[in-house]
Amino acid sequence: MNRDWIATARTLAEALPYLQRFSNSLVVVKFGGNAMGDDDAMAEFARDMVLMRQVGVNPVVVHGGGPMINDMLKKLGIVSEWVRGKRVTDKATVEVVEMILSGLVNKRIVQAINDEGGRAVGISGKDDDLMVCVADDPELGFVGRPVEMNVQVIRDLCAAGIIPVIAPVATGMADNETFNVNGDTAAGAIAGALKADRLLLLTDVPGVKGKDGEVLTQITPEQVREMIADGTIAGGMIPKTETALAALDQGVRAVVILDGRLPNASLLELFTEHGAGSIIRS
Ligand code: X2W
Please enumerate in sequence order all residues whose Cβ is within 8 A of that of 256, keeping only pairs 6 or more positions apart, or say none: 198, 199, 200, 201, 269, 275, 276, 277, 278, 279, 280
Nearest atom in ligand 1 to 30's CA: 12
Per-residue model confidence as pLDDT tens for the chain (282 residues): 667 899 989 989 999 999 999 999 999 999 999 889 899 999 999 999 999 999 999 999 999 999 999 999 999 999 999 988 899 999 999 999 999 999 999 999 999 999 999 999 999 999 999 999 999 999 999 999 999 999 999 999 999 999 999 999 999 999 999 999 999 999 999 999 999 999 999 999 999 999 999 999 999 999 999 999 999 998 889 889 999 999 999 999 999 999 999 999 999 999 988 888 999 998
Atom of ligand 1 nearest to the CA of 87: 9
**ipTM of predicted assembly, 2 dp:** 0.98
- Choosing from 87, 137, 184, 199 the residue with most ligand 1 atoms within 8 A of its CB, the one to mutate for a pocket test is 87
Question: Which residue's alpha carbon is at the smallest distance from atom 6 of ligand 1?
Answer: 87
Distance 36 CA to ligand 1 centre (A): 13
Q: What distance in angstroms lies between residue 239's CA and the mean position of ligand 1's atoms? A: 12
φ, ψ (nearest 5 deg) of residue 5? -70, -35
CA of 274 relative to ligand 1 center, distance in Å = 30
The residues facing 120 across adjacent strands are 163
- Which residue lies with its CA nearest to atom 7 of ligand 1? 66
CB proximity list for 129: less than 8 A, separation 6 or greater: 148, 150, 171
